[in-house]
Structure 1
Amino acid sequence: MPRLSVRPMVFATLLFACTLPPAILPLPSVAQTLPSLGDTEREELSPLMERKLGERIMREIRRNRDYLDDEPLQEYLEGLGNSLLAVRPEARGETQYDFFFFAVRDPMLNAFALPGGFIGVHSALILAAQNESELASVMAHEIGHVAQRHIARMLGKQKQDMLIPLSAIVLGALAAISNPDAGMAMMMGGQGLAMQRQLNFSRDAEREADRVGLDIMREAGFETSGMINFFGRLQQAGRNYTDNTPPYLRSHPMTTERIADIEARTRDLRYRQHADSLDFALIKARVKVLQDSSPQGLIDATAAFERQLQQKSRPSTIAGKYGLAYIALKQGQTSKAQSMLDDARTALKNGTPAARNVVLSSLAIDIKLAAHQAKEALDEAELARNQFPLSRGIAHQYADALYAAGRYEEAVTFLRDQTQLYRSEPKLYDRLAKTYAALNKQAQQHLALAESYALKGSLPAAIEQLSIARRAPDASFYDQSIIDAREREMKAQRLEEIRQEKEG
């Protein structure tokens, strides 16, 4: 699979020509300072269409090798993003879509929003953020774009004027993932006027997203200076390196007026200090390893963590030891990884024996599993599950530990309960299929795989798995009934997909 290329001009278009955020009706407090949307624009792009477009693009992104499908990182971004959304629930839109925050591996500083509340952050941007408020400022800004339906409004105007067909923009966004030049050509369609109007709109959209983002940050308890500091640093980088302007500035045009507007809005605000969470330091260490896991990349990361340990501060020590433990695990040195992790945990305790951290616990389970210490892994997972009952990553690791310990029936019971609570997680069905295979329950194995493929957007593969399940020698009458019902549903969904593809 080709790299998920995110060159500046492509994401300038992907953000402003393809981002179709979920619709909302601004509440009175927002409507006082921000323009409301017209009925015509709302009719052009329904919230349901926005979500479907976002899901379609996300299916392609998830297949790319540079999509960071890393549960501790994912969980951290989701937690940070949802803490921002908690103070502005109307940003979720009238249909209350669940936002999805994710990361992609890329050395360029950028972030972007996709249709339906999907917000992506580049790994380099996470590493460049000097504190949690700076990272929160970028995410709050992107939430502002989504909340105000900026691209839905722009697409409404373009569709009315027949400048760029909606289908061309969607296909261009998908093409841009693997071929930036082709994606740009498809989205541009040779329409210079459309691009100019798009850029004109983006300037207003940026100021609007700044205002919404600042309000969200302030209400969520983050330092509003984080937005000024981060954007200002990017702007300075653009001045010093004109041939290599940070992509975030190209896809989010930064002007002197915007900086002045942000400063004016924060000048009279009471200063509020936000203490960075330990998770922020740990996740930055994890991302440093994920950014480049090549032998040389791990050597460079090791040197960086050793320098970090010299700072002698408690967060730096914990994160540095954690980073070294994670590198050792990547290199297959489980004893060294355990030693480094023990050091990190000792530094965390610092006189508080009960101190626990979900990121450290997750790595502890991974180390035990990698060392084939099934009983110890299960003990660690059970403790973590009790400490962090809401962690999805820990729940998945608990299932892995049950499997590693050979407790397959317990794993099936746990996973089946989880699929009832979290029906949209394909990873649960993948684990369930693996466990059924260990029990030689073939019909159930392929039924679980069918659900996984369906959730990943591969309906033909899902339907094929149902056919295999039907032919399984252990398929009961009850299984056949389920297979028949799910096959009817999936075939109907597939026909609808084909119809939409032809119309698009």
Structure 2
Amino acid sequence: MLKFLPFLLAIGYGLLMMRFSVWRTKKMLAEQSQPLRDPGLLALAQKMAVALELPQIKVNVYQIEAVNGLAAPDGQIYLTQGFLDRKAKGEVSDAELASVIAHELGHVALGHTRRRMIDFTGQNAVFVMLSALLNRFLPGIGVWIANMISGALMAHMSRRDEFEADAYAAALLVKAGIGVGPQVSLFRKLSALTGAAGAGTPAWLMSHPKTDDRIAAIEVLDARWREA
């Protein structure tokens, strides 16, 4: 039993960190958000709700300047105030922001938010175990190598989730009569909107796939649906 103790402690540490992360995220979002009140965007959200046979889709506005959308651990959907500010300036459209909502709905519907919490636990466990092992043979740099390996594993799983959420969003946008055009056009703008964050980062270490790869995957799906 004792030989499994380090592994069990690593899992316990991961679970503890996961619970703390979920609590902190929910608290932060509750304190810094308010319901979306934009009429044009709410109308498109309602179209998607009808397509999903739901009474409505609730969207919240997270009061930060960054340009982003997110699905919280409890399944709530958020757009940042920064995204809405860009819309007010005419830099993005209602339909493009609707594609962000559709993407985040994909994360919720496909269970990504819950799975990411499990993945987070696993990442912490891998990091703790690898750190202990590698530090025996590579003192000083073992922790750095362990962090790089566990981070790369998490990034790979995150990229998979992004492709799946893109596909879900594309299907929903088509069903709602919005189409994939706004989804593709927003991706083409993302580098400028976000300041090309991560431009020099190797693809295998990025938590999101390359934009061109995401656009290509959506266009393949759209072409397949049109042929069908």
Q: TM-score range, shorter-chain basis?
A: 0.5 to 0.7
CA deviation digits over 1:216-262, x for unaligned, max 9?
11111113111001101214x289x55786xxxx7644342221111
Distance 2:158 2:59 in 1: 22
Please name the residue that 2:177 is paired with. 221
Which of these residues, 71, 74, 82, is aligned with residue 116 of structure 1? 74
Please name the residue that 2:52 is paired with. 88
Change in 2 beyond 3 A, CA 1:84/1:263: same
Which of these residues, 42, 45, 64, is aligned with residue 106 of structure 1? 64
Change in 2 beyond 3 A, CA 1:83/1:227: same
SS in 2 for 1:115: coil
Distance 2:35 2:148 in 1: 40
Q: State whether structure 2 residue 148 is matched by structure 1 residue 196.
A: no
Change in 2 beyond 3 A, CA 1:121/1:252: farther
Please name the residue that 1:34 is paired with. none
Distance 2:37 2:94 in 1: 16
SS in 2 for 1:103: strand
Distance 1:244 1:192 in 2: 16
Please name the residue that 2:137 is paired with. none
Over alpha carbons, which structure has the higher Rg?
1
After TM superposition, the runs of 4+ consecutive aligned structure 1 residues lying more than 4 A away are 53-56, 75-80, 241-245
Please name the residue that 1:60 is paired with. 28
Q: State whether structure 2 residue 101 is matched by structure 1 residue 136.
A: no
Change in 2 beyond 3 A, CA 1:243/1:154: closer
Structure 2: which 5+ residue stretches go unaligned? 1-14, 129-145, 200-205
Identity of aligned residues (%): 25
Change in 2 beyond 3 A, CA 1:199/1:160: closer
Change in 2 beyond 3 A, CA 1:194/1:78: farther
SS in 2 for 1:102: strand
Please name the residue that 1:313 is paired with. none
Shift of residue 194 of structure 1? 2.4
- Mapping 1:299-378, distance limit 5 Å: none
Distance 2:186 2:147 in 1: 34
Distance 1:158 1:105 in 2: 25
Please name the residue that 2:131 is paired with. none
TM-score by length of 1: 0.31
Distance 1:220 1:198 in 2: 33
SS in 1 for 2:65: coil
Q: Tell me the amino acid that sits aligned with residue 31 of structure 2.
A: R
Please name the residue that 1:72 is paired with. 37
Number of matched residues? 182
Which of these residues, 165, 171, 174, is aligned with residue 209 of structure 1? 165
Change in 2 beyond 3 A, CA 1:194/1:264: same
- Mapping 1:271-282, distance limit 5 Å: none
SS in 1 for 2:51: coil
Distance 2:42 2:25 in 1: 19
Shift of residue 109 of structure 1? 1.5
Change in 2 beyond 3 A, CA 1:150/1:263: same
Change in 2 beyond 3 A, CA 1:99/1:193: farther
Distance 2:30 2:116 in 1: 27
Please name the residue that 1:163 is paired with. 126
Change in 2 beyond 3 A, CA 1:117/1:110: same
Change in 2 beyond 3 A, CA 1:146/1:229: same
Distance 2:67 2:116 in 1: 25
Q: State whether structure 2 residue 109 is matched by structure 1 residue 147.
A: yes
SS in 2 for 1:120: strand
TM-score by length of 2: 0.62
Assess if the C-alpha contact under 8 Å between 1:54 and 1:117 holds in 2.
Answer: no
Change in 2 beyond 3 A, CA 1:201/1:221: same
SS in 2 for 1:139: helix
Assess if the C-alpha contact under 8 Å between 1:158 and 1:194 holds in 2.
Answer: no
Distance 1:101 1:55 in 2: 20
Assess if the C-alpha contact under 8 Å between 1:87 and 1:219 holds in 2.
Answer: yes
State the structure with bigger RCO (CA 8 A, min sep 6), 1 or 2: 2
Shift of residue 124 of structure 1? 2.4
Assess if the C-alpha contact under 8 Å between 1:238 and 1:244 holds in 2.
Answer: no
SS in 1 for 2:126: coil
